[in-house]
Amino acid sequence: MDKICVSIFANDFNFCIEVVMKYEFVELRLDKGQLNNAQIGEIITAGKNIIATCRAGFIPDENRFDTLLSAINQGTEYIDIEHEFESGFKNKLIEAAKKKGCKIINSYHNYDVTPCFNELLKIAKSLENNCVIIKIACKVNSRDDLINLMTLYKEFEPGKLISLGLGDMGRISRVAAIFLGAPFSYASVKNGLETAEGLLEYENLKYILDGLEFGRL
């Protein structure tokens, strides 16, 4: 499987179909609820490896739950469940995912700051159960923030953690993650279609990773 997951806002059905057919690994951000469950199912079926997620703050939790449950039942490879999701909904999604063989990503996002290292470790450890991957993504405002996010990899077995920095200062983490033990990193389809601050374009990230791996950079 590709080490780069292309992240897109899943608001336009035709665009989503185009992306999942082109790229091997795609994250569908279903945040705004603009696609119905049948359309989501078609996109998942057309794709190869799909992460379905629905971030907080756009639609009610009941709708987020229904959307993610439908994605699980329609065969998504991964489901990304945010740490603050109401526990009743979260537990039902975990149960459904386990029954369907859907891999679970437990995620924490902080769009303002990066907590201190001890707090980051505490958060990551709290997400460790009932998942194949822990994802931590925080806004990087200083060099120390970046160091703390990257140091977190030392505390987990390779493949268990994805720890990334948001914002311009966090861009390097998108590259470093692969070499520090992350199972994959995230990218945008192209400039202007980023789903998070600091995402590199897929082709640029692939060029950098290939260059470093094969000694061309």
Task: Report pLDDT for 188.
Answer: 98
Distance CA 4, CA 51 (A): 12
**Which of the two residues, 57 and 150, has the higher pLDDT score?**
150
pTM: 0.95
Residue 9 CB partners (closer than 8 Å, separation 6+): 29, 31, 32, 193, 195
Q: Which domain holds residue 147?
A: 4-213
**Which of the two residues, 91 and 214, has the higher pLDDT score?**
91
Task: Report pLDDT for 212.
Answer: 86
Q: What is the CATH number of the domain that holds 92?
A: 3.20.20.70
* Sign of the CA dihedral running 156, 189, 34, 198: positive
Question: Tokens 């806002």 identify what position?
Answer: 9
Find the mean pLDDT for residues 27-40: 96
**Which of the two residues, 215 and 213, has the higher pLDDT score?**
213
* Sign of the CA dihedral running 82, 85, 90, 96: negative
Task: Report pLDDT for 214.
Answer: 63
Residue 169 token pair: 């200062």
- pLDDT (tens digit, 9 = 90+) per residue, 178-195? 999 999 999 999 999 999
Residue 214 token pair: 């094969």
Task: Report pLDDT for 111.
Answer: 96
Q: How confident is the model at residue 217 (pLDDT cuts 50, 70, 90)?
A: low
- pLDDT (tens digit, 9 = 90+) per residue, 141-174? 999 999 999 999 999 999 999 999 999 999 999 9
**Average of per-residue pLDDT values in the chain:** 96
pLDDT above 80 (res 215): no
Q: How many domains are contained in the chain?
A: 1
Q: How confident is the model at residue 213 (pLDDT cuts 50, 70, 90)?
A: confident
Q: How confident is the model at residue 211 (pLDDT cuts 50, 70, 90)?
A: confident
Beta bridge partners of 25: 49
